[in-house]
Structure 1
Amino acid sequence: MVEDRRLGDAIAYVILTIGVLIVAFPVWLTFVASTWDAATVINGQMPLYPGPYFFENYNRILFIGSSRTTREPVIGMMLNSFVMAMAIALGKIFISVLSAYAVVYYRFPFRMAAFWIIFVTLMLPVEVRIFPTFKIVSDLNMLDTYQGLAIPLIASATGTLLFRQFFMTVPDELLEASKIDGAGPFKFFKDTLLPLSMTTIAALFVIQFIYGWNQYLWPLLVTTKDSMQTIVIAIKKMIVTADALTEWQLAMATAMLAMLPPVLVVIAMQRLFVKGLVETEK
């Protein structure tokens, strides 16, 4: 029995190791390509170990830029992506938690109708409403601004649904106890619901930060200046049609830098993120 269990564990570890290698190998290849010169990458004979151009390539792409495809350094584009992702994540959480609180704990006409209208918007992605949204942003003079990048993507039916389902699991005794203690609606929300919602907030923050960081189509439409473009657009601009014109070592270095903030956010909030996704009893 013990031997069967050990064999099962060994097989599981082997499968997991193979899966990790399959996922990690392209990332390692990207990192290796970012440490060599353009000729070594293009000629198809690049080795699988890092090269001597690590500091040169990363210093150039971070603080100077790629002369052929983008005139702006990547550090500025990373800042744009970070501001956009943070604004989207925090804005979605703020609006979602308030709207879910109103739907669950307030009794007003057409309360459920409002919720289902919000829920139906899950079937309307950004691409469906992109032209009227762009027209509004343009009329409000928000092109090439952080407000134009973030505000149209803040509303989230997913977040509202997530918080509503959690609030419905909170025992009614907590609300009654708060009323007995003289707590008003805002105090109950701030002192009771928000502390209980931290794992859910963490899970939603991680998901929405990555969603905002990886946005491509919307930033491409609302930014015309190189100084306001995001790092995802920078990667696309660096990869031109003719391979001879693509500075692959700089494109790979930019791709590696684009991975870092989402990975750091996931690592920093890993425990809360996993707990918020799997925890069912509050």
Structure 2
Amino acid sequence: MLNNRRLGSRIFDHAILVLGTLAMCLPVYGLFAATTHPAGSGIRMRLDPGGSGFENYGNFIVGSAGFSGDITAVTMLWNSFVLGAGFAGLKVVLALLAAYCLVYFRVRFASLIFWILIFTLMLPLESRFLATFTVVAQLGLVNTHGGLILPLVASGLGTLFFRQFLLTVPDALLESAKLDAAGPFRFLKDILVPLSGPTAAALFLVLFVNGWNQYLWPVMVTSDEAGFTVVRGLQFFGSASLTGAMLAVAALLPPALLVILFQRHVVKGLFDGSH
């Protein structure tokens, strides 16, 4: 009787998971299926795949648009990748260094500094865009990758994650490093960085998706068509066009693949802490 209850419970649990997966994936498949039909058939959600998928996506990859002809799928995907990877990578490095200083150095008003960093999480990112754009324009970073990435690299969230992780590192490791005559840089490089690997990987993936999906800041800081990101391209082409629909499908693939491939690292880094 008990085994039958367990079997029924498992079947019910798996049915819920399957239904939830279908509910999330079906709209994406419907959009993809719509892009495989001829261009003149219109864009609407459908489940039947067409026979023009290779032709449509071939033209999508090699085609160009815009007044200057610089808007291409490859260029937009590359710009989004640079933004996402630079955004995430620099945030992780800066957050780890900030947490390292707050935990292992006698910084005056360290607690106050930490709570100010936490307070920044309560402020919407868009609330400081106007002031940030003024600084970026004065530095001549408009229409550059540096202008896209550098103003967004400070991360209170990343500092919080790394600080909480570093507080769990045993003090014996620090004492052993001191006995081995290891300085602060060597202690960070040889001990803390390897230990922080899962946390850094998980945080990188989350921040990469966040950077990949940025819309307002790229709109403000890039007026050159060669600097358009995927999300900016969606606004340019519109959701009702075939190119816009294919761009929406392409925009989903890199973040989805990263999350699927490294989901174990995400769970381990964010919830297990590798300790």
TM-score of the pair, normalised by structure 2? 0.94
- Counterpart code for 2:48: Y
- In 1, Cα distance between equivalents of 2:98 and 2:273: 21
- The answer to whether the aligner puts 1:179 opposite 2:172 as a matched pair is no
- Counterpart code for 1:262: P
> What corresponds to 2:104 in structure 1?
105
- In 1, Cα distance between equivalents of 2:114 and 2:262: 29
> What corresponds to 2:218 in structure 1?
219
- The answer to whether the aligner puts 1:17 opposite 2:41 as a matched pair is no
SS of aligned partner of 2:126: coil
Contact 2:36 2:52 in 1 (8 A): yes
- The answer to whether the aligner puts 1:199 opposite 2:192 as a matched pair is no
Cα distance per residue 1:95-117 (max 9 Å; x no partner): 00000000000012222222122
Counterparts in 2 of 1:3 and 1:280: CA distance versus 1, 3 Å: same
- The answer to whether the aligner puts 1:269 opposite 2:268 as a matched pair is no
Contact 2:96 2:159 in 1 (8 A): yes
SS of aligned partner of 2:50: coil
Contact 2:95 2:162 in 1 (8 A): yes
> What corresponds to 1:26 in structure 2?
27
- Counterpart code for 1:59: G
Cα distance per residue 1:158-188 (max 9 Å; x no partner): 0001000000011111111111111111111
- In 1, Cα distance between equivalents of 2:100 and 2:79: 32
> What corresponds to 2:141 in structure 1?
142
* C-alpha RMSD of matched pairs (Å): 1.9
- The answer to whether the aligner puts 1:131 opposite 2:124 as a matched pair is no
Question: How many percent identity over aligned positions?
Answer: 42
Cα distance per residue 1:238-272 (max 9 Å; x no partner): 117xxxxx42x222211111111112222332221
SS of aligned partner of 1:128: helix
Aligned residues: 274
Q: How does 1:1-282 map to 2 (within 5 A)?
A: 1-42=2-43, 47-66=46-65, 72-239=71-238, 246-247=240-241, 249-280=242-273, 282=275
Contact 1:144 1:224 in 2 (8 A): yes
SS of aligned partner of 2:64: coil
- In 1, Cα distance between equivalents of 2:144 and 2:97: 26
The CA deviation at 1:235 is 0.9
Cα distance per residue 1:52-93 (max 9 Å; x no partner): 11122112222213579x861111011001011111111001
Runs of 4+ in 1 over 4 A off after TM superposition: none
- Counterpart code for 1:162: F
Where structure 1 has 5 or more consecutive residues not aligned to the other structure, the ranges are: 241-245
The CA deviation at 1:281 is 6.4
The CA deviation at 1:38 is 3.0
- Counterpart code for 2:228: Q
SS of aligned partner of 1:127: helix
Contact 2:84 2:208 in 1 (8 A): yes
- In 2, Cα distance between equivalents of 1:60 and 1:223: 25
The CA deviation at 1:121 is 1.2
TM-score of the pair, normalised by structure 1? 0.92
Once structures 1 and 2 are overlaid, which stretch shifts more, 111-120 or 125-134? 111-120
- In 2, Cα distance between equivalents of 1:192 and 1:91: 20
Where structure 2 has 5 or more consecutive residues not aligned to the other structure, the ranges are: none
Contact 1:95 1:155 in 2 (8 A): yes
Structure having greater relative contact order (Cα 8 Å, sep ≥ 6): 1
